């Protein structure tokens, strides 16, 4: 496994606490628990709901009626009645038989997020599980048990069965987890070391653990959080490019935005104006009109932001939904089968996220092209002090173009690959986990493209600053000046050709940590 995927999140020491009640979990809280090990607490009201849900299951079992998933088989085997003495074995067999995932493990962050999302859903009390199930999930999170969950195997309908089953294996003390050195070892070894007693499954519990959209939703929550940060950094990169090419601020006039009242468009236009305020380079271009990649920043970046607002809404609704099947209604002791396990809402949102990120990378790459190809005649081609002998930043565009090309593939909706399984009973699949994996990869690629734009814009600004006398050195914008200074801490000006690989990695990491934007926000309100 790659070290970067399974490395411990950035901080293992935290005083953060997140109380779950099944109804109020946020994307920010998912990130606090998954990345920073915030302690998970369970509300008393939620524990009461879980208890009432289990009492209802016990009453249903005593009544002798056939209830899907409680005392019957699964899927197309739903008509097969299971004897009471075999109900625990039924749930155990379910976990074992569905643990057929493959591929590299989910990162620790994604695995922790998945456990949190499943725990929050179970706390609603409609899944019919015992308190032991929620307690062991809480223990896994608070005692930092990192279960081995292969990333491939979910169709996103009937929930994220295969990856969730691997989590279920760990809960019962089987399967594998990762030790302190991130080596995969038998789960029981880790549970013994942390004094966690393996779960003994009862009727309905195996199904409640694996049947739901927790994996796609968890990964979506991480991706949405990081995409919000990325779009903030992309606005900064765009402002730097606008300044480096002497672009006009006229297209950012609020009167233009008011005639097309898209929320994101107006927000982005205002941000660019704040970032470039007091700049003496803005408006110095000899061109009558700027190219679309500059002039249409509010419209294009704004559309990305509006789309992300929709995606965030879907994910936050799903974080607080009950998505297994069947569902228990303790008020009437009814067991009702439905389709909340189907991941279509989340899958569509995450397919849209991949498309947003792919489009964002394309737009950034167009500005990189302008920065390198003398759109501003005051800077040399490829941003090299000595073009010819030196190639300068020429090949940064190649890397950006390669990432853009792969993003175009990732932008293809995963949902179009729907499959029919379970002897035709499950005849439509959302492919939500596939969509979440695509979005995560597109996010990584686009972060690097934005980093390349920042490096190129900083290099262009170097020429504009050094080409003037010290007495008349042009002033940068209030926000772009801070961004330029921050970037130059990790990526010095290129005078003679050198490898820019490390520069790219450092700036990308800064974008992921929202470092540049947060530094600007120490001074400006964005």
Question: Among all residues, which ones are annotated catalytic?
Answer: 68
- Tokens representing 250? 């006229």
Residue with tokens 């725990």: 119
Which residues 6+ apart lie within 8 Å of 355 measured at CB?
A: 411, 413
- Are the beta carbons of 50 and 26 closer than 8 angstroms? no
161-171 and 131-142 helices, crossing angle to 10°: 90
The alpha carbon of residue 101 and the mean position of all alpha carbons in its chain are separated, in whole angstroms, by 21
| Whether the bond into 274 is cis, omega within 30 of 0 | no
Length reported for the chain: 526
CA Rg value for the chain: 26
What whole-number distance in Å separates Cα of residue 234 and Cα of residue 189? 45
Residue 238 CA neighbour count, 13 Å, CB half? 34
- Tokens representing 440? 């995560």
- Are the beta carbons of 450 and 515 closer than 8 angstroms? no
C-beta neighbour count of 180 within 10 angstroms = 10
Q: Is 374 exposed, middle or buried (0-12, 13-18, 19+ CB in 10 A)?
A: middle
- Are the beta carbons of 163 and 215 closer than 8 angstroms? yes
């Amino acid at each position: 496994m790659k070290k970067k995927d399974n490395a411990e999140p950035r901080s293992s020491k935290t005083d953060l606490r997140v109380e779950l009640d099944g109804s109020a979990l946020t994307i920010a809280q998912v990130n606090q628990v998954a990345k920073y090990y915030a302690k998970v607490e369970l509300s008393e009201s939620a524990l009461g709901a879980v208890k009432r849900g289990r009492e209802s299951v016990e009453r249903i079992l005593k009544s002798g009626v056939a209830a899907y998933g409680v005392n019957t088989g699964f899927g197309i085997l739903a008509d097969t009645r299971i004897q009471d003495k075999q109900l625990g074995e039924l749930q155990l067999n379910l976990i074992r038989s569905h643990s057929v995932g493959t591929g590299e493990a989910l990162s620790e962050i994604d695995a922790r997020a998945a456990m949190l999302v499943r725990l929050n859903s179970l706390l609603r009390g409609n899944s019919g599980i015992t308190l032991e199930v929620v307690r062991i999930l809480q223990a896994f999170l608070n005692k930092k048990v990192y279960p081995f969950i292969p990333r491939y195997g979910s169709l996103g309908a009937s929930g994220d069965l295969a990856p969730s089953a691997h989590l279920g294996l760990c809960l019962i003390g089987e399967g594998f987890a990762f030790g302190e050195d991130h080596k995969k070892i038998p789960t029981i070894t880790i549970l013994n070391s942390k004094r966690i007693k393996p779960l003994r499954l009862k009727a309905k519990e195996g199904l409640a653990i694996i049947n739901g959209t927790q994996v796609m939703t968890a990964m979506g929550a991480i991706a949405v959080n990081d995409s919000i940060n990325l779009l903030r950094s992309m606005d900064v990169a765009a402002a730097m490019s606008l300044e480096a090419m002497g672009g006009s601020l006229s297209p950012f006039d609020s009167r233009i935005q008011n005639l097309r009242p898209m929320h994101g468009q107006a927000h982005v236009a205002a941000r660019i104006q704040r970032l470039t305020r007091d700049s003496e380079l803005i408006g110095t271009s000899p061109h009558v009109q700027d190219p679309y990649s500059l002039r249409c920043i509010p419209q294009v970046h704004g559309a990305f932001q509006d789309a992300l607002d929709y995606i965030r809404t879907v994910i936050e609704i799903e974080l607080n939904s009950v998505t297994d099947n069947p569902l228990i209604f303790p008020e009437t002791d009814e067991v009702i089968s439905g389709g909340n396990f189907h991941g279509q809402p989340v899958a569509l949102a995450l397919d849209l996220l991949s498309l947003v990120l792919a489009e964002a990378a394309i737009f950034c790459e167009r500005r990189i092209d302008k920065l390198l190809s003398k759109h501003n005649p005051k800077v040399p081609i490829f941003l090299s002090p000595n073009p010819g002998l030196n190639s300068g930043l020429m090949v940064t565009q190649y890397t950006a173009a390669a990432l853009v090309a792969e993003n175009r593939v990732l932008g293809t909706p995963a949902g179009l690959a729907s499959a029919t399984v379970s002897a035709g009973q499950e005849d439509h699949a959302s492919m939500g986990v596939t969509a979440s994996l695509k979005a995560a990869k597109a996010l990584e690629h686009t972060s690097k493209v934005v980093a390349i734009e920042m490096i190129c814009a900083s290099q262009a600004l170097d020429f504009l600053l050094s080409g003037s006398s010290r007495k008349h050195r042009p002033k940068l914008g209030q926000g772009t000046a801070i961004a330029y200074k921050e970037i130059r801490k990790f990526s010095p000006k290129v005078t003679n050709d050198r490898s820019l690989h490390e520069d790219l990695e450092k700036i990308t990491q800064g974008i992921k940590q929202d470092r540049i934007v947060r530094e600007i926000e120490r001074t400006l309100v964005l």
